[in-house]
Amino acid sequence: MKKITLIVILVSQYFLAQTPCVNGFAGQYPCKDYDLQSHISIFTIGSFGAEGNDSWGWVDPETQKEYALMGTTKGMTFIDISNPVAPIILGTLKTSTVNSPWRDVKVYDSHAFIVSEASNHGMQVFDLKRLRTVSNPPVNFTADTHFTGFGSAHNIIINESTGYAYIVGASRSSTYGGGPIFINIQNPTNPVIEGGFGAGGYAHDAQVITYNGPDTDYTGKEILIGSNENEVVIADVTNKANPIIISTISYTNVRYAHQGWFTEDLKYFILGDELDEQQIGNNTKTIVFDFTDLDNPLYHFDYFGSTAAIDHNGYIKDNIYFQANYTAGVRMIDVSNVENKIFTEVGFFDTYPNNNSTAFNGAWNVYPYFPSGNIIVSDINNGFFVIKKNGTLSLQNQELQKSFSVYPNPTSGKTTIKSSNNQFVQSIQIYNLLGQKMIEENNINNDTYVLDTKGLQKGVYFIKINNQNTTKLIVK
């Protein structure tokens, strides 16, 4: 019975692979204009009892392959999404101390930097180039460096243009009272603390940039925007030994200033308050500030979303604000008309279809910055999702269907792979749901190949043809 249960769980992670958004649903998931590429359950990502948290991405500078990093209560999992309809879990780096619901990760110079609110966790540094050579996934990774210059932390921010990490949400009893800790990570495996900043109080989250916006007084300066519970703090942190508060701003009905992000022209700052929906009863509220003059920030307007869900993390790409809204999943908001105080929801993908309540369930984070247009979402309850805007989803599978046919499928013994357009079958690889290669055949060079599946256990597999096209194969 235990074996049967495990097979069902493993298979379920891909049953909704590459599912278009049609009539408001991609399988069981409510959606608008965004399709499901693939889904991996939280059980498969983190085992029984795990919950999901943060996520980030890495593009290998040599191979251009895309990888996702997803945190859970138990550690950090690394996923190859170079084929987004058949992601491969490469392995997991376990927490350095104990389990925790809060884990955060950012990437610099092909290294992942991981913090957690787990007691005495410190910062794990992992060389992502190691993912290139994983031959038998999934594996248990160890950190390249375990930095213990601080204990627990809620979050980490990295300014990639300077090579500095900013630890926020450390213990309130620590040297900087939970304010940012400045760490030089230019040598990724040898981090060095160079200072900190307690004058602005406890920082829950932040964005740090090398400024090139409309306020020319600060051109070239390293500017930190801290979401500090009851206000937003703007600081010049260029001189790590002497950080300076430029200004602060709050807003009406503040409950918990949680996380924010600049518009791409650096004129406006978009903030989420994590507790106002629950404590006041409004729909998802996003606060927009005018930061044209950093010395004199101004409240601009409030945007109210289409559901009552709590907002969590949000990021901007190409004038679309991707907002992870817990039980409402990810909402895509057009902010191109921000100057005229107009935001428009143009899409969504609800990873938590149960409800849109003010509970801390559902989408924790969204990462929209992959060059391919793939978007990853980490969900507390439901695991890992790859989604993509309509019209860009099924090209690979469509090309496969044009080029090759696979029959019978499902199969109980043999299946035939046949070319449909004078293209030869040159090579075939068969992978199981964990990304393990089960069969490989090369130098076939024929328009037809009969694959013997008798050596495979019953279940779902993926066929990769000519190292490019992938389709699902069911062995019954």
* CATH number of the domain where residue 267 is located: 2.130.10.10
Q: Which domain holds residue 46?
A: 1-89+305-392
| CA distance linking residue 251 with residue 301, whole number of Å | 10
Res 433: pLDDT: 56
Task: Kindly state whether residue 211 falls inside one of the protein's structural domains.
Answer: yes
Regarding whether 184 and 286 lie in a shared domain, the answer is: yes
**Which of 358, 392, 426 delimits the end of a domain?**
392
Per-residue confidence in pLDDT tens, the chain, 476 aa: 333 333 333 333 443 457 889 899 998 999 999 999 999 999 999 888 899 999 999 999 999 999 999 999 999 999 999 999 999 999 999 999 999 999 999 999 999 999 999 999 999 999 999 999 999 999 999 999 999 999 999 999 999 999 999 999 998 878 899 999 999 999 999 999 999 999 999 999 999 999 999 999 999 999 999 999 999 999 999 999 999 999 999 999 999 999 999 999 999 999 999 999 999 999 999 999 999 999 999 999 999 999 999 999 999 999 999 999 999 999 999 999 999 999 999 999 999 999 999 999 999 999 999 999 999 999 999 999 999 998 654 444 445 555 778 889 888 889 998 887 778 888 998 877 555 678 889 999 898 999 998 888 887 777 888 876 567 788 88
By CB atoms closer than 10 A (0-12, 13-18, 19+), residue 155 is buried
Does 94 map to a domain? Answer: no
Residues 154, 133: Cα–Cα separation, whole Å: 31
pLDDT at 435: 59
**Does 279 share its domain with 187?**
yes
Question: For residue 391, what pLDDT is reported?
Answer: 66
Q: What angle do CA 298, 238, 157 make, to 5 degrees?
A: 75
Distance CA 42, CA 198 (A): 37
294 and 153 inside one domain:
yes
The 3-state DSSP class for residue 442 equals coil
Q: CA 384, CA 134: separation in Å to the nearest integer?
A: 20
Domain end: 392, 427, 453, which one? 392
Q: What is the pLDDT of residue 387?
A: 97
Instruction: Identify the DSSP state of 3.
Output: H
Identify residue 355 by its one-letter amino acid code: N
User: Of 287, 304, 321, which one is at a domain's C-terminal end?
Assistant: 304
Mark whether 171 and 190 lie in a shared domain. yes
Question: Which residue carries 């603390």 as its tokens?
Answer: 193
Q: Looking at residue 1, what DSSP letter applies?
A: -
Dump pLDDT digits (tens) for 57-67.
Answer: 999 999 999 99
Q: What is the pLDDT of residue 8?
A: 34
Same domain, 246 and 310: no
Q: How many domains does the chain have?
A: 3
One domain, residues 313 and 250: no
Give CA–CA dist 223/146, Å, rounded. 28
The verdict on 237 and 252 lying in the same domain is yes
Same domain for 387 and 402, yes or no, is no
Q: What is the CATH number of the domain that holds 441?
A: 2.60.40.3080
Do residues 176 and 272 both lie within one domain?
Answer: yes
Any domain includes 319: yes
The answer to whether residues 218 and 229 belong to one domain is yes
pLDDT of residue 396: 47
Polymer length in residues for the chain = 476
> Residue 140 domain-assigned?
no
**234 and 283 housed in the same domain:** yes
Could you tell me if residue 78 is inside a domain?
yes
Query: What was the pLDDT predicted at 216?
Result: 98
- Alpha helix positions (H), 191-321: 276-280
Tell me, yes or no, whether 113 lies in a domain: no
Residue 122 falls inside a structural domain: no
Does residue 180 share a domain with residue 278? yes
